[in-house]
Copies of this chain bind each other. A is one copy, B any other.
Amino acid sequence: MHGKGPWWQEKFTQNCVRVTAAREVIINILHDTPDHLSASDIYMKVHVTNPDIGLTTIYRTLELLEQMRIVQKFDFGDGHARYELLNNPGGKGHHHHLICVKCKKIIDYKDFIDEEVNCLGKTQDFLSQKYNFHINDHLVSFYGFCENCKSES
């Protein structure tokens, strides 16, 4: 697989957005992790190989990528925004979340996702009509206590 650059680079050049080292590193980090990283998580990982890249650039890049619909921003309630690669080539597919309210552990799940999305699809159609919305996304999360935390409480 050689030739042109990665899938996301054309999105950049089309919009006069330059391909820079910082942006490349950040996307790679998000691509390689199974976790939901915060800005400073990413900063620390970036810092290992690129100690010249500042936290400000991390924030700016994440906002840019969010607006280009390359990453999605989440707030799980622990005071840090968290980011994950959107459903792009090489990204995770659409999934929902299972969140421990105590230790904040987050599990991506796809079990029953077809049935869920099917059911949500009907709701979406109905809501679009009734409230005259143009719906293009949904979020489903379950909350509770994980294996470790449910025994301690």
A150 contacts B133, CB within 8 Å? yes
Q: Which residues of B contact A146 (CB under 8 A)?
A: 131-133
CB under 8 Å from chain B, chain A span 79-118: 98, 100, 107, 109, 111-112, 115-116
Q: Which residues of B contact A147 (CB under 8 A)?
A: 131-133
B140 contacts A139, CB within 8 Å? yes
Closest CB in chain B relative to A60 CB, distance in Å:
17
Closest residue of B by beta carbon distance from A148: B132
B119 contacts A115, CB within 8 Å? yes
A115 contacts B122, CB within 8 Å? yes
Closest CB in chain B relative to A111 CB, distance in Å:
6
